[in-house]
Amino acid sequence: MSRTVSLTLRIWRQEAPGQPGAFETYRLEQVCTDLSLLEALDQLNERLIIAGERPVHFDHDCREGICGSCGFLVNGQAHGPRAATSVCQLYLRQFSDGATLTLEPWRARAFPLIQDLVVDRSALDRVIAAGGYCSVNAGQAPEANAILVGQEQAAAAFATATCIGCGACVASCRNASASLFVAAKLAHLAQLPQGQPERRRRARALETQMAAEGFGSCSSNLECEAVCPKQISADWISWMQGEARR
């Protein structure tokens, strides 16, 4: 059964990189708990636009927890308090009436701020471009069953392929490490036959690019696993550390 809540939002506002930023406070009165947090921000932005004020900028796209576009800190926690949930799937029913929510962008050197809650996460794209793929010859598609993949092998590969590249693992790590992201990208390819020929080169290339982008080393505090909306295990980081030395 739907109910309503009144919330106070403390939102980081910064118009551009290099300009001073600060938290600004907004009040939402009697909003339906069936709304997601992003939908609540939509309502706030409608109000700001009508008042002639600058709306709050935040990343979003599919709003189904699939694309990885959205992401910011909610009360200091990446994607908010609910486990295995991206911020677009975080509903107001998770919060008590009268609660104060502090919203701020990912904080990491490799994720420079663009505006308000939006950061530049293209460093993750450059890591993948360095070698996070399988090189294949273009042409006629091969027979799908030509290379057999065992059920356990396929399941393990899929478990890491679910990474959506949201960057929560980076934002939650005290060293701003991208180790869980890189480990997931390496593991889902290395566990399939198609990924074997470039396996060693791929691991070295991604680790080198990760360091070049300014990501820190793994802090081993497992916060990355705790905030991952796809619950990818941090055990894959240990696996990754031996992958480039194969």
Q: Is residue 112 part of a domain?
A: no
Last residue of a domain, one of 77, 104, 131: 104
Residue pLDDT, tens place only, 103-122: 999 999 999 999 999 999 99
Co-location of 91 and 130 in the same domain? no
Co-location of 12 and 93 in the same domain? yes
Q: Is residue 138 part of a domain?
A: yes
Look up residue 174 and give its amino acid.
R
pLDDT at 142 over 80: no
Q: Is residue 42 part of a domain?
A: yes
- The rounded distance, in Å, linking the Cα atoms of 21 and 117 is 11
Contacts of residue 177, defined as CB under 8 A and 6 or more positions apart, other chains included, come to 169, 170, 215, 216, 217, 218, 219, 224
Eight-class DSSP state of 2:
-
Do 114 and 104 meet the contact criterion of CB atoms below 8 Å apart? no
Query: What does pLDDT average to over the chain?
Result: 95
Co-location of 88 and 159 in the same domain? no
Do 35 and 2 meet the contact criterion of CB atoms below 8 Å apart? no
Co-location of 128 and 208 in the same domain? yes
pLDDT band at 1 (very low <50, low <70, confident <90, very high): low
Co-location of 89 and 153 in the same domain? no
* Domain boundaries, position 81: 4-104
Q: Is residue 20 part of a domain?
A: yes
pLDDT at 147 over 90: no
- The rounded distance, in Å, linking the Cα atoms of 177 and 110 is 9
Counting the structural domains of the chain, the total is: 2
Co-location of 8 and 97 in the same domain? yes
pLDDT at 246: 67
Residue pLDDT, tens place only, 214-228: 999 999 999 999 999
Q: Is residue 37 part of a domain?
A: yes
Q: Is residue 116 part of a domain?
A: no
- The rounded distance, in Å, linking the Cα atoms of 54 and 60 is 18
- State the CATH number of the domain containing residue 173: 1.10.1060.10
Q: Is residue 98 part of a domain?
A: yes
Co-location of 167 and 214 in the same domain? yes
Q: Is residue 132 part of a domain?
A: yes
Cα three-residue angle 171-173-179, rounded to 5 degrees = 95
Residue pLDDT, tens place only, 172-219: 999 999 999 999 999 999 999 989 999 999 999 999 999 999 999 999
Higher pLDDT, 61 or 242: 61
- The rounded distance, in Å, linking the Cα atoms of 12 and 192 is 43
The length of the chain is 246
| Average pLDDT estimate for 143-161 | 90
Last residue of a domain, one of 70, 104, 138: 104
Co-location of 60 and 171 in the same domain? no
Co-location of 126 and 231 in the same domain? yes
- Which residue, 226, 213, 191, is CA-closest to 82? 226
Task: Write down the residue that tokens 């360095």 correspond to.
Answer: 130
Co-location of 140 and 98 in the same domain? no
Contacts of residue 66, defined as CB under 8 A and 6 or more positions apart, other chains included, come to 164
Co-location of 180 and 218 in the same domain? yes
Co-location of 79 and 8 in the same domain? yes
- Which residue, 77, 5, 181, is CA-closest to 85? 77
- State the CATH number of the domain containing residue 83: 3.10.20.30
Residue pLDDT, tens place only, 39-64: 999 999 999 999 999 999 999 999 99
| Structure tokens that stand for 92 in this block | 């107001």
